[in-house]
Amino acid sequence: MLFKSGLMRVFRFLKQRRREIRPSEEEMSSARIIMSKVSTSSELDIADRAAKLKSIIEGHIHGDRES
Distance from C-alpha of 38 to C-alpha of 36, rounded to nearest angstrom: 5
Distance from C-alpha of 2 to C-alpha of 52, rounded to nearest angstrom: 53
Environment class of residue 10 by beta-carbon count within 10 Å: exposed (0-12), middle (13-18) or buried (19+)? exposed
| Its pTM surpasses 0.85 | no
Angle at 16 between CA 15 and CA 22, to 5 degrees: 90
Q: Tens place of pLDDT for every residue, the chain, 67 residues?
A: 556 677 777 777 777 666 566 677 888 888 888 777 766 555 557 777 778 888 888 877 666 554 4
